[in-house]
Structure 1
């Protein structure tokens, strides 16, 4: 097996992909804006997908690529996918919960389309909600009250270690070409329940308070700066009140073990909320 290039190698998912590949003794190369943050003993290349020319040196002798796209726009994804196709044989792309034609944010759709047309072998990982997104509540958890919209919205949040484990499995085994895997955690919890579980993991009582969506929109605009993405996110969260995100068994089928629960995730990250 040739070398595996991991983009976003210091992020929530990418760093676990790197560590799991390295732990298995496989040839892995980390592509990151801050290569000094890559774990010791792993080859690291400084680069940024927003600057496609920095990708070329990282692709030398690479067979497979784990692609995690930065930002909310496809931007120069065409150049990036073309560069990958010129060097590698396959790509595993961390996409979104729903795919082409199903209402996913447009940049996910566009990047999937580019990959399909590239000639690369491909697998799309389509996670639902990331458990790590609740780290955005950390300061509120410390105060004992999480104020956020749609407390009754129910999701099956996935642990980033499971996402990484699935990516590693797909990168290192046969039979996944052309597959699009819907990935979730095993338990369906409302946002208010998620806040309570985090409180239990940190040893404090955490109360939920519903925030008006228009107020949340102002905060998200300040953080994300993309009106279409903000509005899509709020609409999606609202939809989970009446149509909950259902848990899939994909992680267990692929890995041969149960997916990690949200409670386990909260225990793993308890220190981040204290």
Structure 2
């Protein structure tokens, strides 16, 4: 069977591709720039853009299932053509759809979950891969600066997200389900810093930023105001019990979720060498 993977060159999409190939399926990958995809041998790479429905239609021909991401570009802007995407999938006769949630609401999620497609909605908490944003400051100064130090989240490994998506695409019993994914443990920022320190073999310092310092830093980086306020709301006003460890990864895949210590060991080189 052939499966279409959008976002195939991203941190999660690459794992979706790998799991599908490992299971013996054919994979077609949709990307804006096939020349830079660097995907495994055997993957059919096609040019297209989810934000332009006309480029998606040819890629849907002959596929059993499609994995979607709710993002129009690398800045994670929400898609505005959700109903058109769903209609194209329906007309192509695609059997299954998985959707990875985006940063902010767009039109794709309600279009998919409100349709008669055999869909599965995947909503991870904080990605472990987000910690790569600390790689450069750790290499350059050995210091991590973040706000909301006491907020605990159950970060999830991108490989576990990919495994859940590939399972939902290729196995029965996941239709109409929404899966909230977490890792196996709740960690605050100092705990994450300690784990990274152990992985690279040297101590990393930590300083908590104020909210105003956070705003200034993100603005200097060109982060949109709505994204800044979203981050403050998500991590700064957390109701008690909002972040909890869920058993979903193991229930769906049959394997326990990976720890942040494992992720840190896998990515230690990014924190210790020049990029």
Report the TM-score when normalising by structure 2.
0.90
Contact 1:31-1:45 at 8 Å conserved across structures: yes
Q: CA RMSD in A?
A: 1.8
Contact 1:4-1:64 at 8 Å conserved across structures: yes
Which deviations, in whole Å up to 9, do the C-alpha atoms of 1:29-83 show, x marking residues without a partner?
1111222322222111011112222111111111211111222323222322222
Is it true that 1:44 corresponds to 2:45 in the alignment? yes
Per the alignment, residue 255 of structure 1 pairs with: 253
Q: How far apart in 1 are the matches of 2:221 and 2:88?
A: 31
Which shows bigger deviation, 36-45 or 219-228?
Answer: 219-228
Instruction: Give 1:239 shift.
Output: 2.9
**What does residue range 18-167 of structure 1 map to in structure 2 within 5 Å?**
18-36=17-35, 37=37, 38-70=39-71, 71-87=76-92, 88-95=94-101, 105-107=104-106, 110-142=107-139, 143-167=141-165
Which shows bigger deviation, 212-221 or 141-150?
Answer: 212-221
Which shows bigger deviation, 153-162 or 232-241?
Answer: 232-241
Contact 1:66-1:93 at 8 Å conserved across structures: yes
Per the alignment, residue 211 of structure 1 pairs with: 209
The number of residues matched between the two structures is: 264
Instruction: Give 1:198 shift.
Output: 1.1
Instruction: Give 1:224 shift.
Output: 5.8
Which deviations, in whole Å up to 9, do the C-alpha atoms of 1:157-200 show, x marking residues without a partner?
00000000111111111011110111000011101211221121
Q: How far apart in 2 are the matches of 1:35 and 1:26?
A: 20
Structure 2 residue ranges without an equivalent (≥5): none
Q: How far apart in 2 are the matches of 1:123 and 1:224?
A: 33
Contact 1:63-1:90 at 8 Å conserved across structures: yes
Q: How far apart in 2 are the matches of 1:65 and 1:223?
A: 34
Which deviations, in whole Å up to 9, do the C-alpha atoms of 1:87-117 show, x marking residues without a partner?
1122100116xxxxxxx8322xx42211123
Q: How far apart in 1 are the matches of 2:80 and 2:216?
A: 25
Instruction: State the secondary structure of the residue aligned to 1:271.
Output: helix
Contact 1:151-1:208 at 8 Å conserved across structures: no
Q: How far apart in 1 are the matches of 2:138 and 2:235?
A: 20
Instruction: State the secondary structure of the residue aligned to 1:154.
Output: coil
Instruction: Give 1:228 shift.
Output: 2.0
Per the alignment, residue 101 of structure 1 pairs with: none
Structure 1 residue ranges without an equivalent (≥5): 97-103
Report the TM-score when normalising by structure 1.
0.90
Q: How far apart in 2 are the matches of 1:239 and 1:199?
A: 28
